[in-house]
Structure 1
Amino acid sequence: MNRKLLIALVFVCLANLSYAQRNDIVKESTKYEWPTDPLVKEKLDTWQDKKFGMIIHWGLYAVPGIIESWSICSEDWIERDSTISYDDYKKWYWDFSKKFNPTKFNPEQWSAAGKNAGMKYLVFTTKHHDGFAMFDTKQSDFSIAKGPFANNPKADVAKYVFDAFRKDGFMIGAYFSKPDWHSQYYWWQKYATADRNNNYDIKKYPWRWNMFKNFVQNQIGELMTNYGSVDILWLDGGWVRPLESVNEEVLSWGAPIPKWSQDIDMPKIAAMARKAQPGLLMVDRTVHGPYENYQTPEQKIPETQLDHPWESCMTLGGAWGFVPNDQYKPVAEVVHKLVEIVAKGGSLLLGVGPKPDGTLPDEVTQKLNEIGKWTSKNGQAIYNTRITKNYHDGQTWFTQSKDGKKRFAIYCLATDETNPKTIKWNNNVPKKGTDIVILSTGKKVRWQNVNGETTLTLPAGIGKTAALAFAFIPQ
């Protein structure tokens, strides 16, 4: 078959796959263990003030514009062009390491777009499951710093990403995949790669698994010691875990279950990482216990309010990384999700993917700027807030200031809804004499309470917006 035609067919299959990935969802855990380290507790409290972050997926998959890593995994939900063998496909994918040359790499543009949107923390993908490192690791030659980008002054990509966002005041998070499908210590070429798990019996080959543990620990050690202050270590690939932690909840998610314990010694990793970065937040996704300092439901929002730290990670478009002609969420939808998540006690981590040249798509920066127009005027109801007992009534959501002295109501307008003349809700009754102020204008509104129902009468000329936020100011 003509090679250009073959590649075109592969792209068509994987463009569809990028959206199918949205169904491979990580749910929030049902258990939570509060940290005991005072420095971790302090940083966790600071992180809970931020509410809105950016997660960036950028790696080999950006070059062909396909789903991140998953296309090289052999599981029944993944489709590939049937005219190319699996081994040839993996080689085709990994060979993008010889072509990935992002000469317009511009982390300052990324940070400015996030800051304009009102984002306060970053999670950058230093290495996804495919094993390609977006930092200058000494543990492998499979990295952005070893290919055609090697002679660029910014070849150590993670350093410049972290520096740019740190300069703009962001908390810094490093996403790191615990599994590594490129490593011979995880996917050993002696055997077929049946699914996402490692493909050899760890009990039979303990030396090989110990080499993998050292590899993982050393790479995390590099990130914790060579890249300045890091606030969050965001660990993905929850199937790499002690076998005894695979409970009924994990089984219910439907992912292939390991046949043996893929224990990488998280206590040792945590001790090493926190020695280098005191107070570091550890996010060992879906693995209950002391190293899941906050939970991370994926592409969904919990049905009810949660009283412990959590974050909903969602894509701005249909894919985590860059996919040509991606369909991005309306600004109002993102704002409404942010409001609901914060009222339920969480934070929104919004996913974007830079293009293979190292710049964000224009539509992404435009969307983020539009989101920022809302957060810049209404952020008081979002940032540094905490949950209220009665957090929701109809289209209105409630938060309160961290010190509990001020309450906020946020009315999310339905699609194509014009600003209403009145807004009503039950519970959260303002105290007598309280002023209710529109955050975006600073104007007071008239209100009354009759039999527990509060009614606000809105003035004209507020202007079209995704959501109307109000502050209760006691006199």
Structure 2
Amino acid sequence: MAYLTKKIRETILCFLITVSTYNLFAQSLEILDTASYPQRMKWWNEARFGMFIHWGLYSQIGYNEWAMEIFSIPYSEYYSFRDRFNPQRFNAAEWVQLASEAGMKYMVVTTKHHDGFCMFDSDHTSFDIMSTPYRNDPVAALSAECNKQGIKFGAYYSMLDWHHPNYSPVRSYWDTTERKRSPDSAKYFSYLSAQISEIQKKYHPAIFWFDWQKDMKNKQLMMTLWQQMMIENPQLIINNRLHASGKPGDYLTPENWIPIHGYKDNNGNNISFEVCYTIDRTSWGYNPYSRYFLSTRDIIRTLCEVASKGGNLLLNIGPKPDGSIQDEFKIRLTETGQWLKKYGESIYGTSASVLAPLPFYGRSTTKNNIVYLQVFNMPKDSIIRFPRLKNTITAIRLTDQPAQPLNWRLKANEVVITMPAGYYDPNCFVLSVETDGAPISLHSGIYFPAADTIRLPVTLCLPSKQNKPIEQGYKINYIELSAKDTLFYSFKTESAGLYKSVIQYSFNQPEKTIQAQITFNGEPVHKKISVPNRRSYVETTVSNVLLSKGENTISVTLPELDDKVIFKFEGLILIPYKN
């Protein structure tokens, strides 16, 4: 342990808050059973919110689930952790109850992570939970408890395996002197298939959540596995990490980032997706050193953001090695559940927004004949404005206090709502806009009805690479740009006007000056920009710009940016010059 303790100390001393992410950029989905798909996915598409759990031997190390590789821990030392794994405080009923109180509708549990250790009683390996002093099966307990409390149970399974002698390619580069192997891929596939069948028959998961499929390049074998799974459970839902292409599956799985506009097929129909996010922004597994957690407000607004694009949020916690769950998770999840008791109808069973997110600062979802406005910040004048619908509005109400309709009026191409004095929720409050039919937006794209400050965050842009992810920094969303990238904005304004344009950004080389080219309605403007230090987000005035009534376009590019510069683009602000 002295070796490991020294490595942890060395790493913690130089630790900068990061999250290792594996982003999947699939733009299409190969649904393998189209006949049963709508019926199988119905509950999943209505659920919108689930719990992800990363728990294993790595929880004892207290860094993250990749600790074995990160710290180059020798096999003999890492596998000795099973001799000390005895989570006497584990209580399946309490875990599932916490998920239920948080408003989560399903739970996905790590049955085997990359280290190859099985958190369940497996007939196909001795490297499992039954070889520990604990000698109980937590996966069995959680599956039974989920069934009892009405939560759907899901099984996570990593196809990467640092322990199995037949896994290929060999990844034990940190311990080649101790262990040399000649892997047999056919034997590993046999082991993999047997364990997956075992999990299905013993624990009856509603979801199978595969991970690290990048080495699984034999599509025929993977399709054979899929057929086996669907025969065993015709109602099973499988994510898109079954094969290296990231395409076969029932839904897409962006990790630790939210797709800018959701996903759509070639016909413009929404593709099911699930964003997996972790509350501890430094780790998926337990990390006692972390001080960087999503706040309750972050969780609620992230849930609104994902639901507004037609997706689910799978929110992760990393329990302690003793089986308990730390207060930072419990408090945030309980508070999120309290919010959902008031406003959950704007999340569960909803479809993607028919509106652009602006001009009200928030998000929007749709269900039946209702548009839900999820408002993050109350405007200074307590007036909520949003683009007019094609439908007739029959009433607008506070979602948590529906008895008394709100006062509202139509003004040109916008709806204007007068909010009652003193009403506010600092996390997010929700309004229900009731219409005479399925809501249809009057305006396509983003529409700004009033001559007010126009904020164009990165979440509203159309990147030249549609799959380029939005990253989340501390309270900041951004896209990393290269010289090859161009970002586009397209929006409508009610009237023409003169605006001051401001660019928001940061980059890692304060000694440099960068040339930005921003094109407003076809007119390019060149601006040299810089930063005072590598940690600052900067707002720099670009130029005055005349916006047209109706359609406006803006593009952003950095044509001379070199590869050593990490440029993070946050957005644009257009501030009107008022008469």
User: d(CA) in 2 for partners of 1:436 and 1:303?
Assistant: 28
Letter in 2 for 1:133: C
Letter in 2 for 1:397: R
Q: Does 1:71 align with 2:67?
A: yes
Q: Does 1:33 align with 2:13?
A: no
Following superposition, the deviation at residue 148 of structure 1 comes to 0.7
User: d(CA) in 2 for partners of 1:49 and 1:214?
Assistant: 35
Letter in 2 for 1:166: N
Q: Which segment is superposed worse, 106-115 or 7-16?
A: 7-16
User: d(CA) in 1 for partners of 2:83 and 2:399?
Assistant: 51
Paired residue for 2:224?
268
State whether residues 120 and 170 of structure 1, in contact with CA within 8 Å, keep that contact through their aligned partners in structure 2: yes
Following superposition, the deviation at residue 14 of structure 1 comes to 5.2
State whether residues 393 and 425 of structure 1, in contact with CA within 8 Å, keep that contact through their aligned partners in structure 2: yes
Partner residue of 1:424 out of 380, 385, 389: 385
Paired residue for 1:412?
376
Q: In structure 2, do the counterparts of structure 1 residues 446 and 429 end up closer, same or farther at CA, with 3 Å as the change threshold?
A: farther
User: d(CA) in 2 for partners of 1:16 and 1:418?
Assistant: 43
Following superposition, the deviation at residue 172 of structure 1 comes to 1.6
CA deviations 1:7-43 (Å, max 9, x no partner) are 4322234557997661433234122223434334312
SS in 2 for 1:55: strand
User: d(CA) in 2 for partners of 1:17 and 1:233?
Assistant: 37
1:256-335 to structure 2, matched below 5 A, reads 265-285=221-241, 287-288=244-245, 291-306=248-263, 307-318=270-281, 319-326=283-290, 327-335=292-300
State whether residues 429 and 453 of structure 1, in contact with CA within 8 Å, keep that contact through their aligned partners in structure 2: no
Paired residue for 1:110?
95
Letter in 2 for 1:29: A
CA deviations 1:229-276 (Å, max 9, x no partner) are 32111100121221xxxxxxxxxxxxxxxxxx6x68112211221122
Paired residue for 2:481?
none
SS in 2 for 1:400: strand
State whether residues 21 and 256 of structure 2, in contact with CA within 8 Å, keep that contact through their aligned partners in structure 1: no
Paired residue for 2:157?
176
Q: Does 1:52 align with 2:18?
A: no
SS in 1 for 2:40: helix
CA deviations 1:296-325 (Å, max 9, x no partner) are 101100111321000110001121111114
User: d(CA) in 2 for partners of 1:389 and 1:17?
Assistant: 46
Q: Does 1:235 align with 2:206?
A: no
Q: In structure 2, do the counterparts of structure 1 residues 470 and 118 end up closer, same or farther at CA, with 3 Å as the change threshold?
A: same
User: d(CA) in 2 for partners of 1:185 and 1:96?
Assistant: 22
State whether residues 126 and 135 of structure 1, in contact with CA within 8 Å, keep that contact through their aligned partners in structure 2: yes
**Matched residue pairs, number?**
422
Q: In structure 2, do the counterparts of structure 1 residues 101 and 289 end up closer, same or farther at CA, with 3 Å as the change threshold?
A: closer
CA deviations 1:18-76 (Å, max 9, x no partner) are 976614332341222234343343121220100001000000111121210x2333xxx
User: d(CA) in 1 for partners of 2:201 and 2:149?
Assistant: 21
Paired residue for 1:399?
365
Letter in 2 for 1:313: C
Q: Does 1:141 align with 2:126?
A: yes
SS in 1 for 2:74: helix
State whether residues 429 and 452 of structure 1, in contact with CA within 8 Å, keep that contact through their aligned partners in structure 2: no
User: d(CA) in 2 for partners of 1:280 and 1:372?
Assistant: 27
State whether residues 15 and 323 of structure 1, in contact with CA within 8 Å, keep that contact through their aligned partners in structure 2: no
Q: Which has the larger radius of gyration?
A: 2
TM-score (norm 1): 0.82
Name the structure with the higher helix share. Answer: 1
Percent sequence identity over aligned pairs: 27
Partner residue of 1:448 out of 389, 394, 409: 409
CA deviations 1:201-239 (Å, max 9, x no partner) are 9xxx78x21110111000001001111x32111100121
SS in 1 for 2:385: strand
Q: In structure 2, do the counterparts of structure 1 residues 315 and 179 end up closer, same or farther at CA, with 3 Å as the change threshold?
A: same
User: d(CA) in 1 for partners of 2:93 and 2:220?
Assistant: 35
Paired residue for 2:332?
367
User: d(CA) in 1 for partners of 2:80 and 2:155?
Assistant: 25
State whether residues 238 and 284 of structure 1, in contact with CA within 8 Å, keep that contact through their aligned partners in structure 2: no
Runs (5+) with no aligned partner, structure 1: 81-85, 243-260
User: d(CA) in 2 for partners of 1:379 and 1:20?
Assistant: 32
Letter in 2 for 1:311: E
Partner residue of 1:99 out of 74, 81, 84: 84
User: d(CA) in 2 for partners of 1:71 and 1:399?
Assistant: 39
TM-score (norm 2): 0.68
State whether residues 44 and 281 of structure 1, in contact with CA within 8 Å, keep that contact through their aligned partners in structure 2: yes
User: d(CA) in 2 for partners of 1:16 and 1:164?
Assistant: 41
1:170-209 to structure 2, matched below 5 A, reads 170-186=151-167, 193=173, 208-209=184-185
Paired residue for 2:442?
none
Partner residue of 1:215 out of 184, 191, 205: 191
Letter in 2 for 1:131: G
Q: Does 1:439 align with 2:399?
A: yes
